[in-house]
Amino acid sequence: MAMIITGLYGSFVWPLPGSYNILFYDALTMFGVFFIAYSLLLKYNMKLDTISFASMVLGFIIILYGVSGYLHHMTSSPIVLLGLYLMWGISAILTYPASFVFNKMQSNQKNVNYQYMLVILGIFLLLAGIAALGIGIQAVPEHLTDFATWVPFV
């Protein structure tokens, strides 16, 4: 829920110039919504196919965000931004085939060949996390300095 609130807050209120709010916070909001949806489906032992198909479609949109941010040089490190959004998007796309593997595993139809899909998904999620960490390490100190210039009580 914190991801959804943070993403919505950043999209609507955070004073980044131009379309940066959309670029940086829409994906966070989408991830939060899907994280809660997947959690509820797992809690109630429901199949993941429908929500993972929607996740796959939004994965293509996330990749489009990354390509647009890269082409318009919306950060000081556009290649890192592109890498982050590619990893997020590919991870979202891979959730659809991974949901079939997970459903088979839940129904005790274990097949080692298909389980590699879950490992591949995990690798892309790990790479997305590393890219996010790289952007965060670069951006947080600079944004905190900028924050102090426009907040009257700092």
Beta carbons of 89 and 59 less than 8 angstroms apart: yes
Q: Which residues contact 11 (CB under 8 A, 6 or more apart)?
A: 21, 22, 25, 26, 29
Dihedral angle, C-alpha 132, 135, 137, 142, nearest 10 °: -140
- The H-assigned helical ranges of 44-111 are 49-71, 78-106
Whether the per-residue pLDDT at 136 is higher than 80: the answer is: no
Instruction: Look at residue 30 in the predicted model and tell me its pLDDT.
Output: 80
Residue 56: which pLDDT band, with cuts at 50, 70 and 90? very high
**Mean pLDDT along residues 69-86:** 86
